[in-house]
Amino acid sequence: MPQDTSQVARDFIAGERPKSLDKRVQRALELLEQGGMSAQVPLSDIASTMHMSSSHLRHLIKREIGISATHYVKMLRLKRARELLKSSFLSVKEVMSSVGMNDISHFVREYKSVFGCTPSESRTSTGRRSEQRRTRNSSQ
C-alpha cells in the first residue's frame, strides 16, 4: 500500500491503479467515476447500495488505493479538467465548472499542486492558446 499521497496522486493521473482491488472498492470507484463530475455523489448512497456503512467503505477505499474517496474524486475532476484544457476551447472557468468545481482560486491551486503548472500554463504549453487566438481573430 503506497504511503506517499502525492505519489498515489501521480500514479492515478498516469492511469495506474492497484492491480488487485477488493471488488467492493472497485465497484465504489466505478460509481464515483460515473457520478463524480456533475455532482457530489454521497458515499453513503454508494455504501448503502453495497450493503455496508459509509465509514467502512471509506476505510476500505483508503486501505486499497492509499487515498481517501474525497481525494479520489478530486483527482478525477482534475484529470478531466486537464483533458478539457488540452482538447477544447473552453475557458478555465468553464472547464472548472464542467468538472464540478466552483472556486477558481481553489481550482488553480489544486491543479498546480498536482500538475506543477496552472491551468492556463497547461493550455499554453500544448499550443491551444495560439490556435484559440487565430480562430478568434479570423472570426472577427
pLDDT 10s digits, 37-94? 656 668 888 899 889 999 999 999 998 888 888 888 888 899 999 999 999 899 999 9
* Closest residue by Cα to residue 27 from 11, 43, 5, 13: 43
Which pLDDT score is estimated for 29? 86
Superfamily of domain 5-72: Homeodomain-like (1.10.10.60)
* The pLDDT of residue 129: 44
CA nearest neighbour of 20 among 48, 46, 1, 47: 1
* Per-residue pLDDT at 22: 85
Q: Is the confidence at residue 111, as pLDDT, over 70?
A: yes
Domain with CATH 1.10.10.60 in the chain: 5-72, 80-139
Q: Provide the pLDDT for residue 67.
A: 87
Q: Check whether 1 has a pLDDT greater than 50.
A: no
Question: How high does pLDDT run on average in the chain?
Answer: 80
**Highest-confidence segment of 7-11, 14-18, 67-71, 95-99:** 95-99
- CATH number given to 80-139: 1.10.10.60
Task: Produce one character per residue of 94-104: b if its CB has 16 or more CB atoms within 10 Å, e if not.
Answer: ebbebbbbeee
